[in-house]
Every structure is written in C-alpha cells, then in structure tokens.
C-alpha cells in the first residue's frame, strides 16, 4: 500500500489526506469491521478520480485516471457507488461544516452532482460523522 500512496495525484491525493487518518480511530475500525465497499469520487474537471476503499475496518484511496472514460466504468473500476461533480463542489462538500442533506439533494436535482449506487455513497455520511 505504500507504493500506491506515492502514485496518488490530484484529487485522489486530496481525498486520501482527508480520509486515511480514520484508520487511527477505534470508532471507525469497530463500525466498519464487517464492511467492504468501494465508492468512486470523480471530480469530472480533473485528471484523476479517487476510488475510496473500505475493507473490513481499513480505509484507503486509489487514484484512477479520468481519461479514457472507460477507466471509470463500474466494470473496469469495480466501484459499488459513484459520486461525481466538479472539483470546487467536491471541496465545498468535503470541507463544509454546515453541509445538509437538503443542500446535497438540491445539487443532485439540479444536475450538479451525479450519484449511482446511493446506498453505498451514503457510507460517506457515516465517515464524516466519525471525522468530527
């Protein structure tokens, strides 16, 4: 896994820095000890997407090139859930203390955020709760 960390670039690197400290939290390890899920976070205006992998109490990020678009398809990347938007909107979502479900739903309805496999993407909300 250390080799993978060196290869992370762009958006995947940002996500990794935000998410991987959860590996140190006992609450995280206990809550996700039986969970195996992959969520693709794609900043569609960037060159790299972040594949967030939760594997039985461990969490890490892999970078996936955005081009060609086939790289991001479910059968190629192996994701269970997808969250896709622009980089500024991702940073707003990831960095906001006042982000509500209503604001996210409004962005989905206006087409600013694309979600596939919503039950898997909802794992992100649990991660944010732990990070507080």
- CATH number for 64: 3.30.1050.10
Lowest-confidence range among 10-14, 35-39, 105-109? 105-109
Identify the domain containing residue 104 by its residue range: 2-131
Residue 108, Cβ neighbours under 10 Å: how many? 15
Q: Work out the burial of residue 88: count CB atoms within 10 Å of its CB; fewer than 13 is exposed, 13-18 middle, 19 or more buried.
A: exposed
What confidence tens digit (pLDDT) does each residue in 50-104 have? 999 999 999 999 999 988 889 999 999 999 999 999 988 877 776 665 556 677 7
In this prediction, residue 2 has a pLDDT band, given cuts at 50, 70 and 90, of very low
Alpha carbons 66 and 43: distance in angstroms, whole number: 9
pLDDT class for 10, splitting at 50, 70, 90? confident
Q: Model confidence over 43-53: pLDDT tens digits?
A: 989 899 999 99
pLDDT higher than threshold 70 for residue 1: no
What's the pLDDT at 38?
96
Domain count, the chain: 1
């Amino acid at each position: 896994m250390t080799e993978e960390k060196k290869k992370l670039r762009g958006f995947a690197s940002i996500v990794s820095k935000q998410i991987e400290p959860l590996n140190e939290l006992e609450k995280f390890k206990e809550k996700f000890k039986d969970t195996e899920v992959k969520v693709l976070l794609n900043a569609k205006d960037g060159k790299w997407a972040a594949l967030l992998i939760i594997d039985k109490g461990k969490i890490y990020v892999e970078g996936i090139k955005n081009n060609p678009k086939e790289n991001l398809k479910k059968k190629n990347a192996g994701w269970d859930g997808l969250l896709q938007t622009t980089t500024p909107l991702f940073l707003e979502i990831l960095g906001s203390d006042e982000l509500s479900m209503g604001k996210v739903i409004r962005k989905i309805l206006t087409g600013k955020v694309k979600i596939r496999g919503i039950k898997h993407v909802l794992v992100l909300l649990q991660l944010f709760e732990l990070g507080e």
